[in-house]
């Protein structure tokens, strides 16, 4: 839950009774690259990049790769020349590895305070309000060295009074060798905020940057000092929140309890363009199996399903087509068979012949807890299907995904994602343990 934004009168009242919060943002440096390096010491000092699914874009870069001018999010084929010339090590992404290392990092952080918000796979906010102004920076250094020692992952840590300011602090920490920056106890942070470009502020994306530039706001200090009335009138409540947070007034709370998700998407770009209906159907069926399994594992059921398909937005010579459709299930479900059935029905509806499809996906939405969703109509048949789903899940958990599947999901999977540079490291696999040769 977010706190309301304080209006003028309340402001002085609130600040007089509010104790100073201290929020740390811990961010893993070049996280995916760091994970690959853990298991491959030879690439420690070398330029390394990790690619997105389908080996499409560059989504993680080591410092050495950054200084070669390789950009975040850049398509791989565009950077290939620099990569080859400089012998940059390239990896396809290995999300189960990164997820596993991430959990280890978060577990380590929890030892410092259980009030933690795991914000993303490589970031967490930690409440350090219990420490004094004087000691909090040292605590940051302590966290950093313990995480490095226990997990091998280097981090940057920013500490400040609000989440947005701790993001700013983190941004500064990234450029420092010590890797830790605290803005706690600094009377006037304007000179610091002045050096932070407006597009580097958390919550300010491309569109807002354009808007702020048009209105003469180029850095974080300028936004901070802009009147709240002006911001609310000319922008929106989110910008207003950001500005308040820059002023040191916390508007975005730490969310320490993980809430249930509201939607679940599984979508992929194809390794090869797909033109025929049968293959598209197989792909969609596979995504449905993944999505249903995922929500089953979280005890959720979906009321709605959306299917979308599209051709490449970058290659218009073949004609662009994109379409999606949503339908509701009669009764909320997480049953793979029902989900696949509904999906194919939609696909038949939106599929058009003669296009080279590049991507497709399924979205399960209007999710609710399976126990809340139990209704009067559940029958013996439902129980049987549920127990079938459970045994499929258990089998697949034990013997690997796709051990049990549906016929509609196909076997050839010509459309499957490209993963040319996969590191094949599996932390749950005995055979992936580094070996030590005995004499």
Partner DNA sequence: TCTGGGGTCCTAGGACCC
Q: Give the long-range contacts of residues 227-231, CB within 8 A, separation 24 or more.
A: 228/5
List, as one string, the DSSP characters of 169-235: HHHHHHTSSS-EEE-TT-S--HHHHHTSBGGGSTT--HHHHHHHHHTT--BHHHHHTS-HHHHHHHS
Cβ proximity to DNA, 182 vs 358, nearer residue: 358
Q: How many residues bind DNA (CB under 7 A)?
A: 47
Cβ proximity to DNA, 95 vs 391, nearer residue: 95
**DSSP state for residue 57 in the 8-state scheme:** B
Q: Which residues is 326 bridged to in the sheet?
A: 306
> Does position 73 bind DNA by CB under 7 A?
yes
In the shown chain, the binding pattern of residues 269 to 308 toward DNA, with x for contact by CB under 7 A and - for none, equals x---x--------------------x--------------
Smallest distance from DNA to CB 206, Å: 4
Contact segment (CB under 7 A) with DNA among 33-41, 182-190, 356-364, 427-435 equals: 356-364
> Does position 204 bind DNA by CB under 7 A?
yes
Cα–Cα dist 303/368, whole Å: 8
Contact 344, 285 (CB under 8 A): yes
Question: And the tokens for 389?
Answer: 């789903």
Question: And the tokens for 177?
Answer: 């060798």
> Does position 122 bind DNA by CB under 7 A?
yes
Cα–Cα dist 44/62, whole Å: 9
Give the residue, chosen from 361, 373, 392, 408, that forms a contact with DNA under the rule CB under 7 A: 361
> Among 12, 344, 23, which Cα is nearest to 182's?
23
> Does position 44 bind DNA by CB under 7 A?
no
Cα–Cα dist 6/14, whole Å: 8
> Does position 312 bind DNA by CB under 7 A?
yes
Give the residue, chosen from 40, 86, 209, 386, that forms a contact with DNA under the rule CB under 7 A: 209
> Does position 230 bind DNA by CB under 7 A?
no
Cβ proximity to DNA, 77 vs 422, nearer residue: 77
Cβ proximity to DNA, 286 vs 423, nearer residue: 286
> Does position 368 bind DNA by CB under 7 A?
no
Q: Residues interacting with DNA, by CB under 7 A?
A: 2, 52-54, 56-57, 59, 73, 75, 77, 119-123, 167, 201-209, 236-238, 261-269, 273, 294, 312, 314-315, 326, 358-359, 361, 417
């Amino acid at each position: 839950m977010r706190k309301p934004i304080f209006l003028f009168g309340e402001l002085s009242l609130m600040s007089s009774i509010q104790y100073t919060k201290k929020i740390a943002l811990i961010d893993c440096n070049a996280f995916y690259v760091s994970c690959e390096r853990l298991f491959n010491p030879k690439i420690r000092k070398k330029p390394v990049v990790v690619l997105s699914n389908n080996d499409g874009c560059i989504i993680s870069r080591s410092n050495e790769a950054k200084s070669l001018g390789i950009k975040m999010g850049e398509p791989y084929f565009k950077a290939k020349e620099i990569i080859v010339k400089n012998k940059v090590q390239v990896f396809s992404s290995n999300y189960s590895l990164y997820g596993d290392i991430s959990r280890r990092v978060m577990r380590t952080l929890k030892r410092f305070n259980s009030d933690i918000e795991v914000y993303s796979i490589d970031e967490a906010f930690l409440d350090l309000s219990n420490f004094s102004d004087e000691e909090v920076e040292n605590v940051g250094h302590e966290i950093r060295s313990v995480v490095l020692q226990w997990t091998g992952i280097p981090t940057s840590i920013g500490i400040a009074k609000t989440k947005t300011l701790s993001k700013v602090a983190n941004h500064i920490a990234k450029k420092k060798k010590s890797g830790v920056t605290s803005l706690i106890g600094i009377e006037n942070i304007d000179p610091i905020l002045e050096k932070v470009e407006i597009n580097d502020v958390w919550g300010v994306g491309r569109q807002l940057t354009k808007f702020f530039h048009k209105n003469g706001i180029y850095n974080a200090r300028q936004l901070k000092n802009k009147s709240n009335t002006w911001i609310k009138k000319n922008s929106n409540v989110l910008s207003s929140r950001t500005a308040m947070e820059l002023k040191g007034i916390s508007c975005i709370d730490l969310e320490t309890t993980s809430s249930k998700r509201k939607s679940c998407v599984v979508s992929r770009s194809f390794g090869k363009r797909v033109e025929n209906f049968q293959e598209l159907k197989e792909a969609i069926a596979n995504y449905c199996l993944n999505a249903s399994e995922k929500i089953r594992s979280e005890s959720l059921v979906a009321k709605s399903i959306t299917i979308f398909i599209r051709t490449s937005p970058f290659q218009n010579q073949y004609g662009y087509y994109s379409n999606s459709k949503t339908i509701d299930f009669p009764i909320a479900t997480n049953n793979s068979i029902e989900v696949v059935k509904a999906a194919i029905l939609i696909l038949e509806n939106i599929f058009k012949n003669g296009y080279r499809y590049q991507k497709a996906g399924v979205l399960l939405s209007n999710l609710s807890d399976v126990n809340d969703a139990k209704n009067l109509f559940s029958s013996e048949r439902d129980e049987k299907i549920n127990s079938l789903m459970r045994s499929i899940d258990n089998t697949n958990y034990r013997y690997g995904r796709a051990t049990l599947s549906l016929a509609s999901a196909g076997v050839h999977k010509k459309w499957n994602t490209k993963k040319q540079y996969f590191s094949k490291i599996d932390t749950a696999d005995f055979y992936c343990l580094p070996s030590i040769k005995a004499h």
